[in-house]
Amino acid sequence: MAEDELVEPPVAGDEVATLLGSLERQRATFAWKVGGLDAAALRRTVAASSMTLGGIVKHLAFAEELWFGTRLLGRPPGAPWDEVDWDAEPRWPWTSAAQDEPDEIYALWRRSVVRARQDVAVALADGGLDRRSVWAPPGYTGELPTLRRILVDLVEEYARHVGHADLYREAIDGLVGEDAPELPALYPRPGRASTGS
**CB neighbour list of residue 21: distance below 8 Å, 6 or more residues apart:** 7, 8, 9, 10, 13
**Nearest residue to 132 (alpha-carbon basis) of 58, 72, 66:** 72
| Pairwise CA distance, residues 125 & 120, whole Å | 9
HSE-up (13 A, CA, CB side) for residue 29: 23
Altogether, the residues listed in the chain come to a count of: 197
Do 32 and 164 contact (CB within 8 A), yes or no? Answer: no
Q: Is 3's pLDDT higher than 50?
A: no
pLDDT score for 43: 94
Q: Is 2's pLDDT higher than 80?
A: no
List the domains of the chain with CATH numbers: 39-85+102-197 (1.20.120)
Q: Is 160's pLDDT higher than 50?
A: yes
The string of pLDDT tens digits covering residues 21-79 is 999 999 999 999 999 999 999 999 888 788 899 999 999 999 999 999 999 999 998 88
Q: Is 145 helix (H, G, I), strand (E, B) or coil?
A: coil
Q: Is 83 helix (H, G, I), strand (E, B) or coil?
A: helix
Do 99 and 116 contact (CB within 8 A), yes or no? Answer: no
> How many other CB atoms sit within 10 Å of the CB of residue 142?
6
pTM for this entry: 0.90
**127: Cα separation from own chain's centroid:** 23
> How many other CB atoms sit within 10 Å of the CB of residue 29?
24
| Amino acid, single-letter form, for residue 24 | E
The string of pLDDT tens digits covering residues 120-129 is 999 999 999 9
